């Protein structure tokens, strides 16, 4: 919901950083891999209850996720880079709830599992439509800077990262936030499935 409004405001900053990183020794795919390696640290940090450290690597991961795209747009988007980026993004999104489950299974396991279940819905509806949109050459002007069709919704990347950050700042509230956000994710999934079905049915 917020991505289309935040991207135009963040994009100039990312483009400036990408300009400074634009040299032969730095590649968009390399930034993607480094960012994912940093993001992986969130799992042990969360499991150990090191929430401030987890918050730091989550922010760095998202910064790298923005920089790889900005650099790729300077050099030309590739299907391989787009695939690597989205695949590692979804793995990162899954490891954060799992980290909270490991941190306190008694309090977080059920809510964290609900959130992961909801992420399957948003992720599968997102990727399934993106695949068919590419096949039928359906454009999305609102996200023209993406290397694939970016299907929006109530809960997108911005809202998910806000959830992760708030959970790190207030870990005792993770179960409540996970239940609420999971419900919003299912609303997103239902609207995506319906709108995607209707769009493809009309082709």
Tell whether the model's pLDDT for residue 52 goes beyond 50: yes
Domains plus CATH for the chain?
3-201 (1.20.120.1760)
Mean pLDDT, residues 50-72:
93
Angle between helices 79-103 and 174-201 (to 10 degrees): 150
Output the CA torsion sign for 73, 79, 84, 87.
positive
The tokens for 1 are 């919901």
Rounded to whole angstroms, how far apart are CA atoms 58 and 92?
9
Rounded to whole angstroms, how far apart are CA atoms 158 and 155?
8
* Helix (H), strand (E) at residue 73: helix 51-75
End-to-end CA distance of the chain: 26
Which among 70, 56, 63, 71 is positioned nearest to 35, based on CA atoms?
Answer: 63
pLDDT tens digits along 94-133: 999 999 999 999 999 999 999 999 999 999 988 888 888 7
pLDDT tens digits along 122-153: 999 888 888 887 777 776 544 444 444 445 56
Q: What is the pLDDT of residue 147?
A: 46
Rounded to whole angstroms, how far apart are CA atoms 60 and 6?
18
Q: What is the pLDDT of residue 149?
A: 44
* List of E strands, the chain: none
């Amino acid at each position: 919901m917020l991505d289309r409004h935040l991207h135009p405001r963040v994009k100039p900053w990312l483009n400036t950083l990408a300009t400074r990183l634009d040299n032969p020794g730095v590649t968009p795919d390399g930034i993607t891999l480094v960012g994912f390696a940093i993001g992986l640290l969130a799992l042990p940090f969360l499991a150990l209850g090191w929430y401030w450290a987890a918050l730091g690597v989550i922010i760095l991961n998202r910064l790298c996720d923005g920089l790889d795209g900005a650099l790729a747009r300077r050099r030309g988007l590739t299907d391989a880079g787009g695939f690597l980026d989205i695949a590692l993004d979804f793995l990162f999104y899954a490891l954060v709830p799992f980290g909270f489950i490991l941190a306190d299974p008694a309090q977080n396991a059920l809510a964290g599992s609900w959130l992961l279940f909801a992420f399957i819905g948003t992720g599968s509806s997102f990727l399934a439509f993106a695949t068919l949109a590419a096949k039928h050459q359906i454009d999305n002007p609102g996200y023209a800077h993406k290397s694939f069709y970016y299907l929006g919704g109530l809960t997108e990347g911005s809202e998910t990262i806000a959830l992760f950050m708030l959970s790190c700042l207030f870990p005792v509230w993770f179960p409540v936030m996970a239940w609420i956000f999971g419900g919003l994710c299912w609303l997103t999934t239902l609207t995506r499935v319906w709108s995607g079905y209707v769009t493809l049915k009309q082709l």
